[in-house]
Structure 1
């Protein structure tokens, strides 16, 4: 019986701005445009190889909600859902491709492994080991993986924010001069993985047959603890333990080993707060924005217990207000006002990560709400506490 594949094109033509895309030199680059181009090519290849396809999210069209998509796929009883995306990160050094699968779905994991294997065969790097198990109540808890009743994989085909000309440069592949070839390459990667999963000999559009056996792919080669520790020291995986672990694409247990090796090379015994820091010193660092936003993030960044952090918080409040109270109310902003995004800002009000090139730059306020402002130039909502 002919297999039915749902090609799930990430996002829609109306999701950027404000998010799901990047800006470069004043120009907008929408993730959905790239996802659509790959989806169109994949559709041709799958039909050419004997599959039936459906697209609930049409290419270059307004966004269809995730619940509507998964309800449709489940009602249609498709055999497989293949979701196409491009990634983003606040650290421009982070790049590579990866696939998400529901953590208990062995069939989806197998398909994700085939995708990683085909990426490597095509000569493209993967992010970490390229595999992410999607789990409940976790940053990996993705709707497409969780709510589909069949084999499903969500692919991230490079980082839109990875922009290092002459080095790693996913941006150039996704949106730049290499896009045309990259779109074709990734569509082939996707189609080959699906063909291998079903034991079908892949035929390219020019009639070339690739006799890939549907055998289990070799386990993606993982980096050594020593190699990952060196990359962390070199700053290739950002700041903060959570960000570094996600960037490396490894488990908490593996990351603990990496952190231990980093500490050994740096000559420190533990990853706790720097020895000898007083409550006053830590409070001043918090005021200076060195430990991000939010109490949970600040406490983790400082590496202190809740009781010690409460003392730090009390001292911060005392310095800012002259008494132990909550932080002062957000500043007043008005339309037309020029503001600058703090370098310590991490996320837009919508929850998306703020790219490094946005931080430290000035923008004009277009709209004002109770706790956020809409900034011209990036057309994104930023919380008042993250601008000045």
Structure 2
């Protein structure tokens, strides 16, 4: 079983790591995106059979050396650092996603390429490409390592995504899919909450897995056309 070290970027109160002042007078700190996204990534990876180590599971700005040492000491197989970018700290039309590997690291570059592709596919944001950098978390780790910048917090529209749980999940899912592809693991989609009676949950999950239904409106009356469609899908599933 592969082990993935997850780094949630900067601490809650790290100087400078925040948006410019929003229209409502508030600011969003980078940690407010990084931390929940790291947690979502961890859950998705565990669901797909990976071991997880959080190397900075705190509001504090833990030293980078502590994070990399923890990953190295536990012999993690990959290191993922989650961030939200900034240009000059003033609102502008710059934006998009870019993902980093250590220079000349062929294996890390391969992982970065897979994750970057998935991030663009999931989010639809501008593709700023795969890049290399001499970041400490990439340089001092003994395993494949990547650093993802999942948008720009000094782009107003992208800054609004930072607290969006759906956007956080998209980024986490993209990173998880890239990791699964790299390690040859078939990605399993997370189970969605199903609003049906407790006695019907197992059957509903079975039907969703077979593609007979998407699980929506489970308590609605069934029409003839819906019933026939389910039968048709079931016959195709048996082929």
Map residues 1-388 of structure 1 onto 2, 5 A cutoff. 2-15=1-14, 18-22=15-19, 23-25=21-23, 26-59=25-58, 61-90=59-88, 92-128=92-128, 130-134=129-133, 141-163=134-156, 169-175=157-163, 179-206=164-191
Q: Contact between 1:85 and 1:155, CA under 8 Å: does it hold in 2?
A: yes
CA distance in 2, matches of 1:173, 1:37: 13
Tell me the secondary structure at the aligned position of residue 161 of structure 2: helix
The number of residues matched between the two structures is 190
Shift of 1:126: 3.6
Tell me the secondary structure at the aligned position of residue 122 of structure 1: helix
CA distance in 1, matches of 2:13, 2:74: 26
Per the alignment, residue 223 of structure 2 pairs with none
Give unpaired runs (5+ residues) of structure 1: 135-140, 164-168, 210-388
CA distance in 1, matches of 2:42, 2:136: 23
Q: Contact between 2:3 and 2:76, CA under 8 Å: does it hold in 1?
A: yes
Let me know the Cα RMSD of the aligned residues.
1.7
CA distance in 2, matches of 1:11, 1:97: 18
Shift of 1:107: 0.7
Per the alignment, residue 240 of structure 1 pairs with none
CA distance in 2, matches of 1:11, 1:122: 24
CA distance in 2, matches of 1:174, 1:89: 16
Shift of 1:75: 1.7
Which one has the largest radius of gyration? Answer: 1
Shift of 1:127: 4.2
Shift of 1:123: 4.4
Q: Contact between 2:120 and 2:127, CA under 8 Å: does it hold in 1?
A: no
Please give the TM-score of this superposition, normalised by the length of structure 2. 0.75
Q: Contact between 1:116 and 1:126, CA under 8 Å: does it hold in 2?
A: no
CA distance in 1, matches of 2:123, 2:9: 24
Larger fraction in helix? 2
Q: Contact between 1:119 and 1:126, CA under 8 Å: does it hold in 2?
A: no
CA distance in 1, matches of 2:4, 2:69: 15
Please give the TM-score of this superposition, normalised by the length of structure 1. 0.47
Give unpaired runs (5+ residues) of structure 2: 193-207, 210-239
Tell me the secondary structure at the aligned position of residue 40 of structure 2: helix
Q: Contact between 2:97 and 2:120, CA under 8 Å: does it hold in 1?
A: no
